[in-house]
Amino acid sequence: MMLSLLRIQAIFFKELTQLKRDRMTFGMVIMIPLVQLMLFGYAINTNIRHIPVGVVDQSQSALSRVLVQTISATQVVKFEQQFQDIKTAEDALKRSEIRAILIIPPDVTKRVARHPSTGFGLPASSDEETSRPIAQWLVDGADTAIAATIKSLRNMPLSELVSVKPANRSTPTFEVTLYYNPEQRTAVNIVPGLIGIILTMTMIMFTSAAIVREREQGNMEMLITTPIRSIEIMLGKIIPYIFIGVVQVVIILGLGYLLFDVPVNGSLLSLLAITLLFIAASLTLGLVISTIAKNQLQSTQMTIFVLLPSILLSGFMFPYEGMPLAAQYIAEAFPATHFMRLIRGVVLKDLEFTDLTFDIYWLALFTIIGLAVASMRFKKTLG
């Protein structure tokens, strides 16, 4: 049997009219990408700076004061408090007033002098007995990101501290060249990823709610007595949201370019192709939810149930490769994971969508299976 374009179009225009009258939803379509882009673009920063720390200076020497200043100059930490003893410092750490404590021992001057990198103690002490760190950090290790940042201070060069040319300046083992985001700006990675997050959120939520609402308000009871077919209802309902999705992508990438200087290196055609594919996959996921949920509360709950792992496992914030294998398999199931690779590939690495066939096929397959499942389940609910 042929699909009736007229009937699909009837549902489509009805949906648009309803959307136009639903000020709140209409506002959210624009506000969600706008506000979240500003929020995440400015707020999320994986280069941690200005961690509040305290110091217990047991040496009270000129060198210890210079040491504190030198560490401050790196901007990694900010010395906020001075403590007389370790006990009070630990209490402050417990209360989260500070995140780490620097303990400078009474013999810091001697330790610096004998440290191999300063080159004073000749020959440079190299055996375990004499080669000792100059001071100690006590760190609030609960937050692994902060702990890692403080740890990075371990090999801070001491040359500036004593303002002499070091005798044996260490040569790095590796030369590191950073591609695609040489300035290491977090926004460059966050903004394209944000498209995946916002589309997942709005597309799944809108479609799942749109059909459940129809059932909740009794409209479906009327529709099923008419000649319209379930696939026509579903197509008519999701097409408006495809346009909405595209509008949201334009807002995010446009503002990302203007505010955060995020480049769009790939071709717009590739960008459109992957975005439409991802929108389609998300919409069918929403449709499947709508055939299971009995009311809008349930559909919202299910959306969040899908949304959270989609976001957290997608590689948006935490690298996919860092997850255990089982979690990687689960992540593969979510369209957002594939889209994250696609959008970062196209926007940042100038890939064409034809270079990313695995993710493209996967999203296409997901859409087809989703549509089939939704159609089948949808029919059942009529009987």
Partner 1 sequence: MNNSPVSEYAIQAKGLSKHFGDLKAIDNLDISVEKSRIYGFLGPNGCGKTTAIRMLTGLLTPTSGEIEVLGLRLPQEAEKLRLKIGYMTQRFSLYNDLTVKENLQFISKIYGITGTQQKKRIDELLSIYGLNHKQTQFAGSMSGGQRQRLALAAATLHKPELLFLDEPTSAVDPENRREFWEQLFDLCDQGTSVLVSTHYMDEAERCHKLAILEDGVKRADGTPAELMDNMAVHVIEIEASELRELKQQLIQLPEVITASQLGARLRVLIKNTVNDPIGFIALHSNIGKQALNLVRPSLEDVFVTCTGNSRQ
Report the interface residues with partner 1, using CB under 8 A.
Answer: 4, 6-7, 9-10, 13-14, 17-18, 21-22, 217-228, 382-383
Least distance from C-beta 232 to partner 1, angstroms?
9
**Which lies closer to partner 1 via its Cβ, residue 18 or residue 267?**
18
Shortest Cβ 382–partner 1 spacing (Å): 7
User: In this complex, which beta carbon is closest to partner 1, that of residue 163 or of residue 226?
Assistant: 226
Q: How far is the CB of 239 from partner 1 (least distance, A)?
A: 15
List CB contacts of 41: < 8 A, sequence separation 6 or more: 187, 190, 191, 194, 256, 259, 260
Question: Which tokens is 48 given?
Answer: 């941690």
CB of 222 to partner 1, least distance (A): 4
Instruction: Output 13 or 358, the one with its CB closest to partner 1.
Output: 13
Cβ nearer to partner 1, comparing 14 with 110: 14
Q: Which is nearer to partner 1, 218 or 324 (CB)?
A: 218
Residue 46: closest CA among 309, 344, 343, 317: 317
210-243 b/e (C-beta count within 10 Å ≥ 16 → b)? bbbbbbbeeebeebeeeebbbbbbbbbbbbbbee
State the DSSP H helix or E strand holding residue 363, giving kind and residue range, or none if neither. helix 357-382
H or E element that contains 82: strand 77-83
Return the residue matching tokens 């500036």.
160
Q: Rank residues 226 and 357 by Cβ distance to partner 1 and give the closer one.
A: 226
Strand 136-139: give its sheet, edge to edge.
77-83, 51-57, 100-104, 136-139
State in angstroms the smallest separation of the CB of 374 from partner 1.
20
CB hemisphere CA count around 370 (13 angstroms): 27
CB of 14 to partner 1, least distance (A): 5
